[in-house]
Structure 1
């Protein structure tokens, strides 16, 4: 049987059916691939940072800002994509974003980047790749019923494994061909996925009718929207912030070569990416609130451990594996909850919550660089982010009873 067979254009999700029979597998796979290669280029400057900073003579704060700019740009553009998805449909918005990234990287490769300001400009361009989050997740989510949202969003969201590809191959390719040529080589998978995406991806027939722009502002009047932004600020912000920062951290703190630092980073990123769909499945099985409670408690403890274990590379490596896996589970759990609370506004909510996560990643990556420059150590940055995980845990404790007795009680057959 063809595992990518899709329902007819007018087919709708089947509530009560098994996961693989309830939605559109070809669209789910297209969403994953689009997200995967987009994440690969979104975080590309992180693995290349040790090489670029050496060539351009950058200080720690400049390195931190360089790897953080794509995250901030992606956060802002996720808001734009979230609005656009509900009005134009996810497939069209995704196609436009992919063309912008392909054209921009082709220009960067053709003309070359030779200044710090040039890397910042490329970082802004790469934000369009990071904004894929607000397209790929609604594209997949709208094909699946409530009881399978955690798994569907987890599989589509596992596209953040593209950060593994960047960590593994960007430093190696830069060593072989020069870091400017990595921008050109990235076009190969981008173009291949774009072609498949245009053939396989389909908008769900359950797409809500377009709303006025003022209607989207109504979502921000909901307290729960802000809570979800905070929760994702910590889980996804921690994941992408560390993905961008670890190559430089390993190179500066332990003297590892860019290639070896990339391998160490790839291992941690792989753990976080692999466990994202598992986090969604845990949330489907045990409830998103219980899953996130464990995530925030463990993440805070491990981040403190990282801050205190800087002298030991083996211990630090293991702790980064643990914290990235934990944050990956948290990413899946957050997006098991969001579609239950805001199903009709999933496009704009994906943009808003993704914006919160992107800002968290920008904060962590830039703060680690500034902490290193001001104190000679990244320890304060890790401790502050650990405290933010505690804040998220306290916030979750405050809202969980209300969630379970209001909108959570109205969703049949789903654990909240």
Structure 2
């Protein structure tokens, strides 16, 4: 097919969008979601594999948390090069390659998943599953280029949410295997995903496109690195996505370690939170489109702080029922915040363009350059929040024998995120320059009113 390159792509042109652009964008979105979904499942494999690792494996809870943390950190760091791969190789081409790459960690896990394998081998294989985490960055960068600003919250939320669902789906597969074949057959889970990886690669090759206008812009990258909003949004994204992925990986192990659940009991509960958090992510993006991402994000962090208080109480009182209610609420809220924070990124840099005096297509082009360049970095740092959560749990269990200490730290972080969101994006400041939508009367309003 010659790489399926599209030479002209102007999503902000309503006529172009209406006469075929929307159809092409949605087709690419659909298969991007599928490939990213499989990537997330592979990335979170070890949140399931540790449930199969009984006493015969000779690995204590701290060692299992470290396996999960290893997959998390590699998946976070690899997002940076994956972000730039789309412009270098084409969104379709890179999606095919990155999907096929998932065969390596999945196949190796299939080969080594048995008692007697050295812990070092498990750490190496867990690290390789991190390539699944990189798929998020390339997928989001690719889809960001396909959609106009007015649709980005919905499109990015749907793309990310569909990918995030890979976490609860692989956990559901693990539950089905434990419930039917027992906890001695982890290879069945891996055997399910090997052919699905091939299907994702084939579908990407057949139905996705490359956008020729998308090119790596080293100047934009340097500017994004210097921009304070890149680092502010990375800090906030640690609180939303870092929470989602960290809790997703650790939930089942916490249930086993702190509440004495069996592998089957833990697996029967583990998938619920990630599933709800994934499903609500597009809602967070849509609410941000309508009400502003900063407002939704601030409300979300306030609710996450409250939910963490509930979980902290349940941890101290050893109440499993209250713990589940609070923890699942954290998943839902983190998913909502994932959608709203990622919607903020293109809106922030568009507002920055307006502050520089740019208007119309010039301002929109500036916003696309900077938001595309910053997304990989923000996504990578946000995912490192998952590492922080797993290391916090590991340390908490080592020192106090429960997750209580970790929950105190999480509560403090959400409070800090609330303060930053309000101070930077919602506090009343000086008037905003007129935008391309038309002249407005100057008024005192938030400096990023449309963020």
The TM-score normalised by the length of structure 1 is 0.90
Q: Secondary structure at the match of 1:132?
A: helix
Q: Distance in 2 between matches of 1:126 and 1:192?
A: 18
Q: Deviation at 1:104?
A: 3.2
Q: Deviation at 1:205?
A: 5.0
Task: Tell me the equivalent position of 1:34.
Answer: 35
Task: Tell me the equivalent position of 2:89.
Answer: 88
Q: Would the alpha carbon gap of residues 230 and 11 (structure 1) be closer, same or farther in structure 2, given more than 3 Å must change?
A: closer
* CA offsets 1:308-355 (integer angstroms, 9 cap, x no match): 112221221111221111110100001111123242144432211111
Task: Tell me the equivalent position of 1:55.
Answer: 56
**Is 2:296 the counterpart of 1:261?**
no
Q: Distance in 1 between matches of 2:325 and 2:340?
A: 23
Q: Is the 8 A contact 1:53 1:63 kept in 2?
A: no
**Is 2:306 the counterpart of 1:306?**
no
Q: Deviation at 1:76?
A: 0.5
Q: Secondary structure at the match of 1:142?
A: helix
Q: Distance in 1 between matches of 2:433 and 2:197?
A: 39
Q: Secondary structure at the match of 1:186?
A: helix
User: Which 10-residue stretch deviates more, 389-398 or 108-117?
Assistant: 108-117
Task: Tell me the equivalent position of 2:288.
Answer: 283
Give 5+ residue unaligned stretches, structure 2.
350-366, 439-448
Q: Deviation at 1:260?
A: 2.6
- Counterparts in 2 of 1:51-130, with a 5 A limit? 51-52=52-53, 54-110=55-111, 112=113, 114-130=117-133
Q: Secondary structure at the match of 2:402?
A: coil
Q: Would the alpha carbon gap of residues 403 and 355 (structure 1) be closer, same or farther in structure 2, given more than 3 Å must change?
A: farther
Give 5+ residue unaligned stretches, structure 1.
1-5
Q: Distance in 2 between matches of 1:178 and 1:349?
A: 42
Q: Distance in 1 between matches of 2:433 and 2:192?
A: 47
Task: Tell me the equivalent position of 1:397.
Answer: 422
Task: Tell me the equivalent position of 1:332.
Answer: 339
Q: Deviation at 1:217?
A: 2.9
**Is 2:144 the counterpart of 1:141?**
yes
* CA offsets 1:246-278 (integer angstroms, 9 cap, x no match): 111111222222233122121111110011000
User: Which 10-residue stretch deviates more, 329-338 or 163-172?
Assistant: 163-172
Q: Give 1 or 2 for the bigger CA radius of gyration.
A: 2
Q: Is the 8 A contact 1:154 1:280 kept in 2?
A: yes
* CA offsets 1:79-119 (integer angstroms, 9 cap, x no match): 11123223333323322222222133223324556222122
Q: Deviation at 1:408?
A: 9.3
Q: Would the alpha carbon gap of residues 362 and 402 (structure 1) be closer, same or farther in structure 2, given more than 3 Å must change?
A: same
Q: Secondary structure at the match of 2:147?
A: coil
Task: Tell me the equivalent position of 1:217.
Answer: 222
Determine which of 185, 189, 199 is the counterpart of 1:178.
185
The TM-score normalised by the length of structure 2 is 0.84
Q: Is the 8 A contact 1:69 1:123 kept in 2?
A: yes
* CA offsets 1:380-405 (integer angstroms, 9 cap, x no match): 11110111111111111221158986
**Is 2:403 the counterpart of 1:378?**
yes
Q: Distance in 2 between matches of 1:136 and 1:407?
A: 32
Q: Is the 8 A contact 1:371 1:379 kept in 2?
A: yes
Q: Secondary structure at the match of 2:107?
A: helix
Q: Would the alpha carbon gap of residues 242 and 201 (structure 1) be closer, same or farther in structure 2, given more than 3 Å must change?
A: same
| Greater length-normalized contact order (CA 8 Å, ≥ 6 residues apart) | 1
- In the alignment of these two chains, the number of paired residues is 408
Task: Tell me the equivalent position of 1:195.
Answer: 202
Q: Distance in 1 between matches of 2:433 and 2:272?
A: 36
Q: Would the alpha carbon gap of residues 109 and 412 (structure 1) be closer, same or farther in structure 2, given more than 3 Å must change?
A: farther
Determine which of 169, 172, 196 is the counterpart of 2:173.
169
Determine which of 218, 233, 249 is the counterpart of 1:244.
249
**Is 2:28 the counterpart of 1:22?**
no
* CA offsets 1:105-160 (integer angstroms, 9 cap, x no match): 22332455622212211121111101111111122221111111100001100110
Determine which of 231, 235, 252 is the counterpart of 2:236.
231
Q: Secondary structure at the match of 2:153?
A: helix
Q: Distance in 1 between matches of 2:31 and 2:436?
A: 28
User: Which 10-residue stretch deviates more, 88-97 or 292-301?
Assistant: 88-97
Q: Is the 8 A contact 2:238 2:383 kept in 1?
A: yes
Q: Secondary structure at the match of 2:29?
A: helix
